[in-house]
Amino acid sequence: MFKSLDNKLKKSLMALGLGAAIAASGLANAGQFNIGTTATPEEIAGWDIDIRPDGMGLPEGQGTVEAGEEQYEALCATCHGLFGEGEGRWPVLAGGQDTLTEERPTKTVGSYWPYASTLYDYIRRAMPFTAPRSLSDQQVYDITAYVLYLNEIVDEDFVLTKDNLATIEMPNQDNFFVDPRPDVKNTRCMKNCADPKKLQIAGTLRGITPVGHFVEGADAPAASHDAQMEQEHNKEKVRKASLKGEEVTSSNGGGASALSESATAGQSTYDGACKVCHGSGLTGSPKIGDIDAWAGRIKQGMPVLVEHAIKGFTGDTGVMPPKGGRVDLSDKQVEDAVAYMVESSR
Amino acid sequence: MSKIIKGPSTRELMAQMVQESEHLSINDRRDFLRKGVAAAAGMAATTIAGSSIASEVNKANLPPNEPAWGKQLGHGVVEHPYGSPSKFENHVVRRTVPWLTADSIASISMTPLQDLKGIITPNGLVFERYHGGVPQIPVEEHRLIIHGLVERPIIFTMEDLMRFPSVSEIKFIECPANGGMEWKGAQMEALQFTHGMLSCCEWTGVPLKVLLEEAGVKPEGKWILAEGADGSHMSRSIPIEKALEDTLVVYAQNGEMLRPEQGYPLRLLNPGWEGNTSIKWLRRLEVGDKPWYHREETSKYTDLMPDGRARKFTFVQETNSVITSPCPEKPMVKPGFVEIEGLAWSGRGKIKQVDISFDGGVTWVPAKLKGLVLDKALTRFSLVTKWDGQPWLLQSRSIDETGYVQPTLSQLRKVRGGNSIYHKNSIHTWKVAPTGEVTNVQIT
């Protein structure tokens, strides 16, 4: 068994010292412990979501660029941008062709990804970010077709099917090769290993890493991602206010002890569904704890806010998708989460 | 036994400082050189960087006085059913660099290597890497399915898995992006951020080989897809040779069940390989005849070369090392005897030797390996010497049992350019100033 390994890979695995294990493994003689239950085809089918470049795993169905555009704009554009250009630090999906040798390459589906199957697989397993495994196979076909279209890999009238996905040629597909390391060979020199006069010493770019914990003393609040963002946010607020000559109080609502029952219940929904946008103020969403950003909204009253959150809303600063894309949430859960954000932001 | 290391001559150091200060403005440069001269003249080493950390000491608690805690009772048993570190150690925490990622849910934090002793990382300090946040999985509802090219597809409960004979092994886990922010230049001002995507635990579980034997792999089975149960359903293709060699299916770390952050209740562990292949919240293993080329092995975790082509399946974490004391967070305390300590590791086996340089790689001296020296585990090295306030350019260089010598940054850059993100295992440099301050610099 295991005789027909790809030669290149075999060579690299042998280099890792793994060759010996291949022989005499006796793997086919199953079940010496007889532990575990035989998995039924139905149990496997529900979890067997993976797609391979040869099309293995693709479900029945097809999708169009046109249908994909609508899905994409509702479910994906908040993070990835209307044209796949990426919002904030969220992944850029399109463009970047011929940049891989540049100083700052842009690695996108079109410029970098070797297989179209990866796109279907990834959308199906992990997207949209706030509601993974919520899309139908049909929606995944549609959105995959549209992202390929954004990358000019297919035309606008293209119909993506179970049968043609594996035949799509990606622009960068031939440019991956198996790891050749070790690729550099240093030697154990002990004396006169370099010319002291020729040493170039470059210092650290200052001020871009959080070092308060040892430079200024304890920085417990800055230990977390959120707290660091909060600090940055507050600094920015103070800076802006100082330009206007205003006095600033902490923007962190700090009303945690006074939360209503509904708000308390809404915290876990907030953490799992809303925080990804409202925790950072992504693409114009009101950031939790930002009193200024919420004041005008709170004035509209809870019924309006809850309705916008459930049905979706397009405002001056951004788009709120229905239930933030989490259509699995009940109206009550959304209402509680809104209460949590409102009470944390005044 | 201690070794006294003779530092570079004052003239050499001054030449270095001049070179180093060339990018500074005239005023900064004058300041910089004046401080340097003061140090070289032996006036330094009284002002020590980082002294602001020390909190105020209450003299009433110092000898000859009886301290407050000696005159009263403390709390009783089970006041804290699950104990925590002393409140005076609350600075020892994971930290992150927020701009690295879009959000904390798909992000990374770093282990405070500067505060750790020995080779084991405490469970609460193991670095975090999530692609969809930490799921809270009830242990009785977790399942692992093995299917695909097998004789009998099996579904395991956690109770099933814990009935198999178990093994416990000490192995490091490292993110392949550890140090990856510094391909183009030094920009992390602390050890925690330059090397903290690295931890080492004793892991307990079942060899994957045993589970595969239980299912019976068909002869054409060459690759295994491992998949997580979390919202990202993180997936990687693992060659079956690795699975049969030393991959573990793990449910415990450092003596207790896995932390949620580390995959509770079940994770994969591919010793010595890039951390993301050790899929957390493991729910499915599919045996196939080819790799799957999923997102985390195409779009991510492939290494872009200067010619625009990219390396795939760059699994192994090659030999690396770093000095953990002193470091930017732990500057030199005072002149006199000092133990230089650090960590070395290799994804290809055991550490054979670590050397230390005080002059930026011109001269090297052997360090001593101390404590356990284990396969694919963190290994602690040490060198006792004396510091009299002279500037140092401190480096460590590890050699593993295959004979591979940790490379210089120039050697890596020459082959890989500056955009490969992953697997930067080059020799690292700390600059020790006459004041005792330690900063991150790059030498080329």
Q: Which of B147, B186, B357 is opposite residue A39, by nearest beta carbon?
A: B147
pLDDT in tens, B181-230: 999 999 899 999 999 999 999 999 999 999 999 999 999 999 999 999 99
| pLDDT classification of B29: cutoffs 50, 70, 90 | very low
- Which B residues 9-38 touch A at CB under 8 Å? 12, 15-16, 19-20, 23
Q: Which two tokens stand for residue A261?
A: 């029952």
Q: How far apart are CA A344 and CA A297, in angstroms?
A: 13
Q: How far apart are CA A21 and CA B244, in angstroms?
A: 6
Q: Which of A47, A105, A275 is opposite residue B419, by nearest beta carbon?
A: A105
Name the residue of chain A whose CA is nearest to B190's CA: A211
Where are the CATH 1.10.760.10 domain residues in chain A?
47-167, 256-343
A256-343 maps to CATH 1.10.760.10? yes
Q: Which chain B residues contact residue A36 at CB under 8 A?
A: 154-157, 160, 214
Name the residue of chain B whose CA is nearest to A187's CA: B405
Q: How far apart are CA B158 and CA B65, in angstroms?
A: 56
Give the pLDDT of residue B46: 35
A281-285, A332-336, B179-183, B204-208: least confidently modelled range: A281-285
Q: Which of A105, A126, A181 is opposite residue B304, by nearest beta carbon?
A: A105
| pLDDT classification of A318: cutoffs 50, 70, 90 | confident
- Which B residues 389-408 touch A at CB under 8 Å? 393, 397, 399, 404-408
- Which B residues 217-236 touch A at CB under 8 Å? 217-219, 221-222, 225, 227, 231-233, 235
Q: Which chain B residues contact residue A43 at CB under 8 A?
A: 145, 155
Q: Which chain A residues contact residue B317 at CB under 8 A?
A: none
* Sign of the dihedral defined by the CA atoms of residues B82, B84, B86, B87, in that order: negative
pLDDT in tens, B80-135: 999 999 999 999 999 998 888 878 888 999 999 999 999 999 999 999 999 999 99
Give the pLDDT of residue A219: 46
Q: Which chain B residues contact residue A203 at CB under 8 A?
A: 20, 23, 186, 431, 439-441
Q: Which chain B residues contact residue A56 at CB under 8 A?
A: 288
Name the residue among A118, A174, A5, A14 with its Cα closest to residue B316. A14
Query: Do the beta carbons of residue B354 and residue B396 sit within 8 Å?
Result: yes
**B173 has which bridge partners?**
B199
Helix/strand number for chain B, H first, E second: 7, 21
Query: Do the beta carbons of residue A181 and residue B316 sit within 8 Å?
Result: yes
Give the pLDDT of residue A208: 78
From the CA of A253, how many Å to the nearest CA of chain B? 20
Determine, for residues B103 and A276 on separate chains, whether the beta-carbon distance falls below 8 Å.
yes
Q: How far apart are CA A125 and CA B301, in angstroms?
A: 18
Q: Which of B12, B20, B440 is opposite residue A196, by nearest beta carbon?
A: B12
Q: How far apart are CA B436 and CA B335, in angstroms?
A: 9
Contacts of B94 (CB under 8 A, 6+ apart): A223, B109, B110, B111, B112, B125, B127, B128
Query: Do the beta carbons of residue A252 and residue A230 sit within 8 Å?
Result: yes
User: What's the whole-number mean pLDDT along residues A12-31?
Assistant: 50
- The CATH T-level fold of domain B113-308 is Sulfite Oxidase; Chain A, domain 2 (3.90.420)
Q: Which chain A residues contact residue B442 at CB under 8 A?
A: 201-202
Q: Which two tokens stand for residue A169?
A: 């040629």
| pLDDT classification of B168: cutoffs 50, 70, 90 | very high
- Which B residues 91-150 touch A at CB under 8 Å? 91, 93-99, 101-107, 109, 131-133, 145-147, 150
Q: Which chain A residues contact residue B354 at CB under 8 A?
A: none
Give the pLDDT of residue B30: 42
Choose the mutation target among B213, B318, B325, B396 for the interface with A, i.e. most A CBs under 10 Å: B213
Helix A137-150 with A65-75: angle, nearest 10 deg: 100
- Which B residues 283-312 touch A at CB under 8 Å? 283-284, 286, 288, 290, 292-295, 298-299, 302-304, 306-312
From the CA of A157, how many Å to the nearest CA of chain B? 26
| pLDDT classification of A251: cutoffs 50, 70, 90 | very low
Q: How far apart are CA A197 and CA A195, in angstroms?
A: 5
Q: How far is residue B333 from each of residues B38, B122, B169, B278, B440, measured CA to CA in Å?
A: 18, 26, 36, 39, 18
Q: Which chain A residues contact residue B7 at CB under 8 A?
A: none
A117-131, A226-240, B248-262, B314-328: least confidently modelled range: A226-240
pLDDT in tens, B342-363: 999 999 999 999 999 999 999 9
Determine, for residues B318 and A181 on separate chains, whether the beta-carbon distance falls below 8 Å.
yes
Contacts of A218-223 spanning 24+ positions with Cβ under 8 A: A218/B90, A218/B91, A219/B91, A220/B90, A220/B91, A220/B93, A222/B95, A223/B93, A223/B94, A223/B95
Determine, for residues A175 and B219 on separate chains, whether the beta-carbon distance falls below 8 Å.
no
A67-76, A305-314, B23-32, B424-433: least confidently modelled range: B23-32
From the CA of B97, how many Å to the nearest CA of chain A? 6
A45-54, A66-75, A315-324: least confidently modelled range: A315-324
Q: Which of A38, A133, A175 is opposite residue B308, by nearest beta carbon?
A: A175
> Domain coordinates of chain B in residue numbers?
10-40, 113-308, 320-441
What's the distance, CA A16 to chain centroid? 32
Cis geometry, peptide bond prior to residue B176 (ω within 30 degrees of 0): no
Determine, for residues B244 and A21 on separate chains, whether the beta-carbon distance falls below 8 Å.
yes
A214-218, B189-193, B254-258: least confidently modelled range: A214-218
Q: How far apart are CA A224 and CA B128, in angstroms?
A: 12
From the CA of A60, how many Å to the nearest CA of chain B? 19
Q: How far apart are CA B195 and CA A289, in angstroms?
A: 33
From the CA of A90, how many Å to the nearest CA of chain B? 6
Rg of chain A (C-alpha set): 26
From the CA of A244, how many Å to the nearest CA of chain B? 28
Determine, for residues B20 and A203 on separate chains, whether the beta-carbon distance falls below 8 Å.
yes
What ipTM goes with this model?
A: 0.87
Pick B320-441's CATH classification: 3.40.720.10, 2.60.40.650, 3.40.50.720, 3.40.640.10: 2.60.40.650
CATH for A47-167 is 1.10.760.10
Q: How far apart are CA B269 and CA B202, in angstroms?
A: 11
| pLDDT classification of A215: cutoffs 50, 70, 90 | confident
Give the pLDDT of residue B18: 45
